Amino acid sequence: MTAGSTLFDKIWDAHVVRDLGDGWALLHIDRHLLHDLSGSASLADMAERGLAVHDPDLAFATPDHAVSTQPGRDGMTYVAGSKLWSALRQGAQRFGIRLFDLGERGQGIVHVMGPEQGIVLPGLTMICGDSHTCTNGALGALALGVGSSESTHALATQTLRLQRPKHMRIRCDGALVPGVTAKDLALHIISTLGADAGVGHAIEYAGSTIEGLDVEARLTLCNLTVELGARSGVIAPDQRTFDYVKGRRFAPQGADFDAAVAAWRELKTDADAVFDREEYIDARLVAPTVTWGTSPEHAIAIDARIPDPRGATGQNAEAIAQALDYMGLDAGAPIAGTPIDWVFIGSCTNSRLSDLRAAADIARGRQVAPNVRAWVVPGSEDVKRAAEAEGLHEVFAAAGFEWREPGCGMCVAANGERVPPKARCVSTSNRNFVGRQGPQARTHLASPAMAVAAALTGCLSDVRTLA
Amino acid sequence: MQPFTIVSGAAVPFMRANVDTDVIVRIERLTSLPKDRLGPFAFESLRYLPDGSLNPACILNAPRFQNAPFLLAGENFGCGSSREGAVWALMCLGIRTVIAPSYGDIFFSNCFQNGVLPIRLPLDRVEALAAQCADGAPLTIDLKTQMIRASDGASQPFAIDATRREALLSGLDGIGLTLRDDAEIRAWQEKDRVQRAWAWNPVRA
């Protein structure tokens, strides 16, 4: 008797154009997202090599990385990025690819606008030249981050030559306690399993905790899959997913939608499927979590103490010491109470409407601490408009936050929006790497609610003490 | 793509774990520079002091490792961002092979797209090579025989997927290879348009 199939296998098998042997397959790619940084490079590469785009209808382009998020911005506001913005526009026009430009509905961070516009659907394969493409697995899609060469390959052939990864399942059971979000759960998982736990694996998240998360929270969880070392993370689509997808701009309509849902209901791992690795997380034990170091695995509960390299050995002790030196923190001190300078609420991790609502709920009627600069950067034009329709921008403005234009912004600082050297920033993004938010910038990853708590108190704080 | 056959030279012992692609090259450099001019900006946060001068304590700056074709590293090398510029920046430094226990998955794929060979070896063996190569002693890496030869004559094999090995040895372009099967791709699509109409109809122009 052969073992059953995983959700990943089912999507993979349905997209094999040709079995290349040895675990390799020529896999059909159903959707391809292009942004100004890697997308413009692939499109230029195509033009230079005289290649045609295989299926322009399956590609979608939007500027997000190197555009300013300053209020009133246009594509020229960040001059150094303007040539990437122009190249994306020209490339999209040349090859007949849909473009969602600045100020238009649909523009936004690729991993926010993709699900939001119904471009990403359960059961599809999709890629983007961006490692956080794993975000889209939250809908039950096989979503892979790729480099620019693979992106070019997919534009020219609508396929990728891929080797089937190993399978890993992370089961999370139990309800998250109040004040704890999908972001805290993700950081907790990474710190528990390690930043390389998922290398070579496709991850599936399962269990009662995951079933209880709304789709936007699932997108946050899957977003951090690459910080576990894995290229993809997937969640079985369920009624919440179908309800989320229904009616979106590029989602199937009418009879097509009904046929799609019938197919999507089959997208789950068989009871007798075998994973190469299984992990279990008790979600009831997760506290509001922040990072203290320079890898997402350097995460601790807000009421914990900063690790001490003297309690570690070898390479690990050295890594802790280097991280503490870069971060300007004292080993063994409580993390709560650490003074901060900046707060960034945004990024493909935490810039959706539910994130902004959670942030506004804490900020309402309160004030950002003196000496703290705090930004809110909505993930897309649609998120921005929806938030403004609810008056969230006014809540933020009244509390002393700057309300900005959609884009990646200070998560990756590709648009010149940097945290100054040695300044300490609480960020709802996904990477606290050395220099990520600017040379010598010090990043603490946290949930939107925790970021607001830090902004209001001027230091790393437990949001539960504010609620 | 430059084929990979036999390469000899020094190996930089850069034994850190979780070296991310942001550290290998800052994203702002990729917005402003062509891919063959990234060398001065590879590992810039480590190679330069805040005043812009070379950091003499950084092993990457040691004269014996300039243009070294090999980099020895800890677990999860190249984790993080998918930027292919990380591979280009290493190539600008002259690096053709990284030897580490494990790699970020996307970086690993990107290496093969550019004729760079990422070799996986257990940590204790990478550490042994690092000790052996610390004074600049050369290695020879032969992809045909899948052997790493040290200056004292000792050799050890390394494993690599056969498909990837073939592609590196030939330097063949994947797009050209795939387009040979274009009729099969189009036939698959034609069938799929009927079977999964819901996946195609909503995006039809």
Q: What is the DSSP string of A96-129?
A: T-EE--TTSTT-B-HHHHHHHTT-S-TT-EEEES
The average confidence (pLDDT) of chain A is: 97
From chain B, the residues in CB contact with A133 under 8 A are 82
Query: Per the CB < 8 Å rule, is A17 touching B182?
Result: no
| B45 shares its domain with B100 | yes
Are A413 and B28 inside 8 Å of each other by CB? yes
What is the mean pLDDT, run by run of 10 residues, along chain B of 205 residues? 94 96 95 93 95 95 97 97 97 98 96 97 97 97 97 94 95 92 98 98 91
Who's near A323: CB < 8 A, 6+ residues apart?
A292, A293, A294, A295, A298
Percent of all residues in chain A with a pLDDT value above 70, rounded to a whole number = 100
Q: What pLDDT score was predicted for residue A248?
A: 98
A chain contacts of residue B198, beta-carbon cutoff 8 Å: 252, 256-257, 259-260, 263
Q: Please tell me the distance from the alpha carbon of residue A395 to that of residue A401, in angstroms, as a whole number.
A: 9
Q: Is residue B149 in a domain?
A: yes
B38: which chain A residues are within 8 Å (Cβ-Cβ)? none
Residue A149 sits at the chain B interface (C-beta within 8 Å): yes
pLDDT digits (tens, 9 = 90+) for A236-264: 999 999 999 999 999 999 999 999 999 99
Give pLDDT, residue A3: 86
CB within 8 Å: A440 and B75: no
Query: Which of B18, B84, B178 is nearest residue A295 as measured by Cβ atoms?
Result: B18
Show residues of chain A in contact with B28, CB under 8 Å: 80, 413-414, 416
A330: closest CA of chain B, how far (Å): 22
Per-residue pLDDT at A467: 62
**Residue A175 DSSP class:** P
* Residue A84: closest CA among A129, A130, A35: A35
pLDDT single digits (tens) B112-153: 999 999 999 999 999 999 999 999 999 999 999 999 999 889
| Residues B10 and B61 grouped into a single domain | yes
Let me know whether B181 and B165 are in one domain.
no
Q: What's the pLDDT score for residue B173?
A: 83
What is the separation of C-alpha B143 from the centre of its chain, rounded to a whole number of angstroms?
15
Q: Domain containing B42 — which CATH number?
A: 3.20.19.10
Tokens of A178: 């109040």
ipTM for the predicted complex comes to: 0.95
Residues of B in contact with A124 (CB under 8 A): 199
B55 in the same domain as B19: yes
Pairing type for strands A16-21 and A24-28 reads antiparallel
Give the homologous superfamily in CATH for domain A7-165+236-264.
Answer: Aconitase, domain 3 (3.30.499.10)
Fold of A166-234+270-285: Aconitase; Domain 2 (3.40.1060)
**Residues of chain A positioned with their CB less than 8 A from the CB of B203:** 31, 57-58, 119, 250
A125-128 and A98-99 as β-strands: parallel, antiparallel, unpaired? Answer: unpaired
Query: CA of A288, closest CA in chain B: separation in Å?
Result: 23
pLDDT in tens, A299-335: 999 999 999 999 887 778 989 999 999 999 999 999 9
- For residue B1, is it within any domain? no
**Angle B30-A116-A178 (CA atoms, 0-180°, nearest 5)?**
100
Take residue A268 and report the two structure tokens written for it: 């789950």
* A208/B contact by beta carbon, under 8 A: no
CATH of domain A289-465: 3.30.499.10
Q: Does the model's pTM come out above 0.90? A: yes
- A205, pLDDT greater than 90: yes
A19 touches chain B (CB under 8 A): no
Q: Are residues B177 and B167 in the same domain?
A: no
Do residue B85 and residue B185 come from a single domain?
Answer: no
Q: Are residues B121 and B204 in the same domain?
A: no
Chain-wide mean pLDDT for chain B? 96
* More confidently predicted of A329 and A466: A329
| AA letter at B114 | N
pLDDT at A314: 75
Same domain, B106 and B21: yes
Residue A170, pLDDT score: 98
Q: Can you give the pLDDT at residue A154? A: 98
Residue A316, pLDDT score: 84
CB proximity under 8 Å: A 218-257 to B: 226-227, 229-231, 250-253, 256-257
Structural domain of B93:
6-172
Q: Which of A163, A226, A253 sits opposite B202 (nearest CB)?
A: A253
Q: pLDDT band at residue A50, thresholds of 50, 70 and 90?
A: very high
Residues B147 and B165 in one domain: yes
Does B130 lie in the same domain as B31?
yes
Record: contact A37-B74, CB cut-off 8 A: no
- Measured between CA atoms, the residue of chain A closest to residue B32 is A80
Distance from CA of B8 to the nearest CA of A (A): 27
Residue B36, pLDDT score: 95
- Rounded to whole angstroms, the Cα distance separating A162 from A27 reads 7
Contact B105 A250 (CB under 8 A): no
Q: Which residues contact A226 (CB under 8 A, 6 or more apart)?
A: A131, A132, A134, A145, A430, B80, B104, B106
In this complex, do A51 and B18 lie within 8 Å of one another by their Cβ atoms?
no
Question: Residues B152, B205: one domain?
Answer: no
Percent of chain A with pLDDT over 90: 97
Say if residue B163 is in the same domain as residue B197: no
Q: How many domains does chain B have?
A: 2
Task: With CB atoms and an 8 Å threshold, state whether B202 touches A57.
Answer: no
**Are β-strands A98-99 and A59-62 bridged in parallel, bridged antiparallel, or unpaired?**
parallel
A145/B82 CB distance under 8 A: yes
Domain ranges of chain A: 7-165+236-264, 166-234+270-285, 289-465
| Predicted pLDDT of residue A1 | 55
Please write the tens of the pLDDT for every residue from A361-391: 999 999 999 999 999 999 999 999 999 999 9
Of the partner residues B20, B23, B82, the one whose CB lies closest to the CB of residue A130: B82
Q: Cβ of A111 under 8 Å from any chain B Cβ?
A: no
Closest CA of chain B from A408, distance in Å:
12
Distance of CA A348 to the CA centre of its chain: 4
- Whether A166-234+270-285 and A289-465 share one fold: the answer is no
Q: What is the pLDDT of residue A312?
A: 85
